C-alpha cells in the first residue's frame, strides 16, 4: 500500500490503485474501532443490568442506563461507516465484485439479518427502560448480543473467504458457474478467523471501556459506581485475553499450513530453512537479507510445529516469484505489525493475569497506582493490537485480493478520481472521529452533573414527552 501510494509517478498519473488501497484501508481501520464496542458493549451492559435487578444495585442500574446510551452513539457511527464499505466494494473493486460477488457476497446476505436485529433491538432496549417491566426489558437486550456475535462472524466469514476461497466452480472462461453457499461461509479460514475476531471484540471492548473508568479512578473518582464499571468491563477483557493467545496461536498455525508466503512475511523468512529463529523487530533488506532485530534461535520453527520442534521447515519468501508475494516494504509492514500484535497481546495478557491473581489470592482488585495507569492505557493498546492484526491479514495477503486467484491490481476500478474521494473521505472521517469522542465526553460530563437518567437524548431514544403548547410559549420567552 505504502509503496504504491508514495510512488510519485503513481500520483501524477493518478493511478487509482494506490489511492483505492489507501481509501479501503482508511475506512476499514476506522470502522473496525467501532465494531468491538458494537459487539461487546451490549454484553457488558446486560451484566450491569442483571446485577441491578438481582441485587437491587442502583449504581449498576445507572451504569446500564448510561452505557446503553453511549452504545447507541457508537453503534450509529459504526453503522454509517459500515455502509460506506458496502459502497466501496463496488466503487473501488468493481472487477472483484464482477468476478467473485456471487461467492464473496453470500455471508453478507446473512449479515443483513443480524444488522436488522441489532438496529431494532438497540432501539427497543433504549425505549424499554421505562416502558417494559424490568425483566422483560433485560431480555430485550439479549438479541443485541446475539446479533453482534453472528453479525461479526458473517462479515469475517467474507474476509476469511478472501484468504481461503472455496465453495464455487469456475467455467472455462474463468467465471463462477456454481456456488455452494455453505462451503463459502464455512470456508477453511472462517472458524479460527471468526473466533479470533470475536474474542478481539470482547477484549478490545472490555479494555476500552475499562480504561475510561481507570482514568476516572486515577483522578480520584473511586466511588462504588466507578469501581463497578471498571470491574465489569475489565473482567470481560481479562477473560478474553488468555483465550485470545490460544486462538491466535492456532490461527498462526493455520497460516503456516495454508498461506506459507504470508507466514514467511510474518516470521521474516527469506529462504526456506529449518531451525528458523523468531526475529523480534528487525527488517528485510532489498537484497533479501534480514538485518537488525533480536533473533530467538529456533523459536519460529518450534512454534510452527512443536511436534517436530526446531527441525520444522519454514517455507521462505523466495519459493514464489516476486510478483506472487508481498514486496519488501509490505513484508516489513507485516512483520512489524505481527510483533506489535503479539507484543501488545502478551502485555495485555500479563495485565489480565495480575488482575486475576490478585482476585484469586486477595479477593479484590489490585490497588497499586501502576495497575491503574496500565489499565488506563490498555484500551488504546488493545485497539492498536487489533489494527495490527488486520494489517497482518490484509497486507500479508498481497498481492492477492482473492488468495491465489485474483490480484489486487486486476480488481481495481478504472476511475481516476479516487485520489479526490480519498482526500474528502479522510477529512470527513477525521471530523466524525474527533466529534464522536467529544460528544461521548460531553455526554459523560452531563450525566455527572444531572446524576439521574433521562431516556430521550440518545440516537435511538424516544423523544422528550410532548411539550404542551402553552408552557412552550413561556419557555421560548
Partner 1 sequence: MSTAVAVVLLVAVIAYAVLGGADFGAGFWDLTAGGPQRGARPRDLVERAIGPVWEANHVWLIFILVILWTSFPEAYASITLTLFVPMMIAALGIVLRGASFAFRKTVVALRYRRIFGAAFAASSVLVPYCMGAIVGGIASGRVPAGGVAGDPARSWINPTSVVGGVLAVAAAAYLAAVYLVQDARRLDEPDMAQHFRRRALVSAVAVAVIAAAGAFVLRADAGHLFDGLTSRALPAVIVSGVCGVGALVLLHRDASRGARALGVVAVAAAVAAWGLAQSPYVLPESLTFSAAAAPTGTLTAVLVAAVLAVVVVVPGFVLLFVLDRRGLLPAEGLEDEADDVLEERPRQRTHSSGHDGA
Which 171-190 positions form the footprint of ligand HDD (CB under 6 A)?
Answer: 189
Is residue 233 a contact point for ligand HDD (CB under 6 A)? no
Three-state SS annotation for 347-372:
HHHHHHHHHHHHHHHHCCCCCCHHHH
Residue of 15, 16, 19, 21 that binds ligand HEM (CB under 6 A):
21
DSSP for 405-453 reads TEEHHHHS---TTHHHHHHHHHHHHHHHHHHHHHHHHHHHHHHHHH-S-
From 119, 381, 127, 341, select the one nearest 237 (Cα to Cα): 381
Enumerate residues 388-417 that contact ligand HEM by CB under 6 A: 390-391, 394-395, 397-398, 401, 408
Helix (H) or strand (E) holding 135: helix 134-163
Which CB atom, from 35 or from 64, has the smaller least distance to ligand HEM? 35
Tell me how far apart the alpha carbons of residues 315 and 233 are, in angstroms, rounded to a whole number. 41
Q: Which does 252 bind (CB under 5 to 8 A by kind): ligand HEM, partner 1, ligand HDD, none?
A: ligand HDD
From 89, 102, 78, select the one nearest 20 (Cα to Cα): 89
331 close to 268: Cβ distance less than 8 angstroms: yes
Enumerate residues 7-66 that contact partner 1 by CB under 8 A: 52-53, 56, 58, 61
Q: Which does 196 bind (CB under 5 to 8 A by kind): partner 1, ligand HDD, ligand HEM, none?
A: ligand HDD
Tell me how far apart the alpha carbons of residues 410 and 202 are, in angstroms, rounded to a whole number. 36
From 145, 126, 153, 147, select the one nearest 137 (Cα to Cα): 126
Is residue 35 a contact point for ligand HDD (CB under 6 A)? no
Enumerate residues 26-45 that contact ligand HEM by CB under 6 A: 28-29, 31-32, 34-35, 38-39
Which string of b and e fits 115-134 if b means at least 16 CB within 10 Å? bebbbebbbbbbbbbeeeee
Which CB atom, from 70 or from 338, has the smaller least distance to partner 1? 70
Tell me how far apart the alpha carbons of residues 393 and 345 are, in angstroms, rounded to a whole number. 16
Is residue 16 a contact point for ligand HEM (CB under 6 A)? no
Which CB atom, from 31 or from 51, has the smaller least distance to ligand HEM? 31
Shortest reach from residue 374's CB to ligand HDD, in Å = 15
Residue of 43, 67, 93, 129 that binds ligand HEM (CB under 6 A):
93
Residue of 60, 145, 158, 214 that binds ligand HEM (CB under 6 A):
158
Residue of 74, 81, 163, 398 that binds ligand HDD (CB under 6 A):
163
Is residue 112 a contact point for partner 1 (CB under 8 A)? yes
Cell matching residue 438: 467529544
Is residue 203 a contact point for ligand HDD (CB under 6 A)? yes
Q: Which positions touch ligand HDD (CB under 6 A)? A: 156, 163, 189, 193, 196-197, 200, 203-204, 244-245, 248-249, 251-252, 255, 262, 341-342, 345-346, 348, 382, 385-386, 389-390, 392-393, 396
Amino acid at each position: 500500500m505504502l509503496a504504491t501510494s508514495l510512488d510519485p509517478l503513481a500520483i501524477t498519473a493518478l493511478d487509482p490503485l494506490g489511492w483505492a488501497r489507501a481509501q479501503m484501508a482508511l475506512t476499514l481501520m476506522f470502522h473496525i474501532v467501532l465494531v468491538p464496542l458494537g459487539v461487546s458493549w451490549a454484553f457488558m451492559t446486560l451484566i450491569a443490568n442483571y446485577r441491578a435487578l438481582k441485587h437491587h444495585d442502583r449504581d449498576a442500574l445507572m451504569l446500564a442506563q448510561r452505557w446503553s446510551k453511549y452504545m447507541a452513539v457508537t453503534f450509529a457511527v459504526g453503522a454509517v461507516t459500515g455502509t460506506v464499505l458496502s459502497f466501496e466494494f463496488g466503487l473501488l473493486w468493481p472487477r472483484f465484485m464482477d468476478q467473485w460477488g456471487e461467492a464473496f457476497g453470500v455471508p453478507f446476505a446473512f449479515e443483513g439479518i443480524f444488522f436488522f436485529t441489532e438496529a431494532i433491538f438497540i432501539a427497543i432496549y433504549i425505549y424499554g427502560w421505562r416502558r417494559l417491566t424490568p425483566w422483560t426489558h433485560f431480555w430485550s437486550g439479549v438479541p443485541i448480543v446475539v446479533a453482534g456475535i453472528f453479525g461479526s462472524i458473517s462479515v469475517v466469514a467474507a474476509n476469511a473467504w478472501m484468504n481461503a476461497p472455496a465453495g464455487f466452480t469456475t467455467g472455462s472462461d474463468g467465471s463462477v458457474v456454481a456456488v455452494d453457499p455453505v462451503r463459502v461461509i464455512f470456508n477453511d479460514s472462517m472458524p479460527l478467523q471468526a473466533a479470533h475476531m470475536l474474542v478481539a471484540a470482547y477484549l478490545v471492548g472490555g479494555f476500552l471501556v475499562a480504561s475510561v473508568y481507570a482514568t476516572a479512578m486515577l483522578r480520584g473518582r473511586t466511588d462504588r459506581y466507578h469501581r463497578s464499571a471498571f470491574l465489569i468491563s475489565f473482567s470481560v477483557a481479562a477473560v478474553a485475553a488468555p483465550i485470545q493467545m490460544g486462538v491466535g496461536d492456532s490461527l498462526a498455525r493455520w497460516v503456516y499450513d495454508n498461506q506459507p508466503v504470508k507466514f514467511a512475511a510474518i516470521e521474516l523468512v527469506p529462504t526456506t530453512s529449518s531451525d528458523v529463529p523468531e526475529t523480534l523487530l528487525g527488517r528485510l533488506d532489498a537484497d533479501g537479507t534480514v538485518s537488525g532485530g533480536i533473533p530467538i534461535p529456533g523459536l519460529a520453527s518450534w512454534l510452527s510445529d512443536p511436534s517436530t520442534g526446531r527441525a520444522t521447515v519454514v517455507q521462505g519468501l523466495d519459493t514464489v516469484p516476486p510478483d506472487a508475494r508481498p514486496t519488501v516494504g509490505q513484508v516489513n509492514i507485516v512483520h512489524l505489525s505481527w510483533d506489535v500484535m503479539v507484543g501488545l497481546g502478551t502485555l495485555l495478557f500479563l495485565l489480565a493475569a495480575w488482575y486475576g491473581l490478585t482476585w484469586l489470592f486477595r479477593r479484590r482488585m489490585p490497588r497499586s497506582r501502576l495497575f491503574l495507569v496500565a489499565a488506563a492505557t490498555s484500551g488504546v493498546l488493545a485497539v492498536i493490537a487489533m489494527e495490527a492484526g488486520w494489517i497482518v491479514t490484509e497486507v500479508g495477503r498481497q498481492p492477492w485480493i482473492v488468495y491465489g486467484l485474483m490480484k489486487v491490481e486486476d480488481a481495481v476500478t478504472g476511475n481516476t478520481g479516487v485520489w479526490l474521494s480519498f482526500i474528502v473521505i479522510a477529512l470527513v472521517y477525521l471530523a466524525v472521529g474527533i466529534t464522536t469522542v467529544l460528544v461521548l465526553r460531553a455526554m459523560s460530563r452531563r450525566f455527572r452533573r444531572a446524576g439521574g437518567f433521562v431516556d430521550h437524548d440518545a440516537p435511538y431514544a424516544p423523544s422528550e414527552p410532548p411539550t404542551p403548547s402553552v408552557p412552550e410559549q413561556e419557555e421560548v420567552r
